[in-house]
Amino acid sequence: MTGADERHFRGRQPGAVNHALEILGAIARGGPVVTAREISAMLHMSKATTYRILSHLVQEEYVVRSPDLTGYLLGARVVGFAELVAAQSVGDTHQEESTVPVTSSAGTKPPPGVDPA
């Protein structure tokens, strides 16, 4: 996303959604386990905002805490999206050979809230 696109996005969408996506990206890029303070520093976001959004993402299971409770990892709901995207890529390569929906061809279950159709 370019700077102009980002400004456009910020201008039209609620800031919290943008922050949540940035946090998800930071966790994905940050390695296996990232702490809330690292995320806050990485994104130049206030600690209170970071904790609040992380808490919401944990509640919705997009993010989970590490067993010692100090860090965060991407959660099972994100895995569902990742598998769908990966399966979509696999499906694209065989597009001319098969018209079966990618969710079925990959044998994966769609994440909660995602319509398999």
Partner 1 sequence: MSVRDHTAPRPGLPIGVSNGLVGLDRRVLPFSSVLAQAAAGAMPAAMALSTPSLLGRIVGPGAWLSVVIAGAVMWLVNLTLRQFSTRVASSGSLFSFAAQGLGPAGALAVAVCMLCAYGTLASYGLVQSSEYLPRLLDPSGPRPSVDPLNSVLVVLMFAALCFAIMARGVRRAGRFTLSVEAITLVLLALLLGLSVIERGSVDLQALSVAGADPGRVLSGVMAMFSVFFCIECAASLSAESAQPFKSVPRATSIATAAMVSLCLASLLVAAPQSAGDAGQHGAEHFWFPEAEHHSLLAFAIVLVRLLCNLGSVLAVWTCLSRLVFTCARSGLLPARWGGTDPSVRTPVAALVVTAPFVVGPAVVLTLASSDVRWAEHQVLGASNIAFFLMYAMTCLAAPLFLRRIGEDLWSTTAIAVIASAVTSAAIVWTVVDEWRGGRVLSLATIAVLSVVVAGWRFAVLHRGRFGLTAIGTHDATILSDVHVPADPVTREKPA
Q: Which residues bind partner 1 (CB under 8 A)?
A: 28, 31-33, 35-37, 47-48, 51, 55, 58-61, 64-70, 73-76, 78-79, 82-83, 86-87, 89-90, 93, 106, 108
Cβ proximity to partner 1: between 12 and 44 the closer is: 44
Residue type for position 105? S
Cβ proximity to partner 1: between 43 and 65 the closer is: 65
Tokens, residue 84:
């769908």
- Compute the distance between CA of residue 25 and CA of residue 78 in angstroms, rounded to an integer: 11
Compute the least distance from the CB of residue 51 to partner 1, in Å.
Answer: 5
* Planar angle of CA 25, 26, 31, nearest 5 degrees: 110
Compute the least distance from the CB of residue 68 to partner 1, in Å.
Answer: 7
Compute the least distance from the CB of residue 14 to partner 1, in Å.
Answer: 20
- Compute the distance between CA of residue 93 and CA of residue 96 in angstroms, rounded to an integer: 8
- Compute the distance between CA of residue 86 and CA of residue 91 in angstroms, rounded to an integer: 9
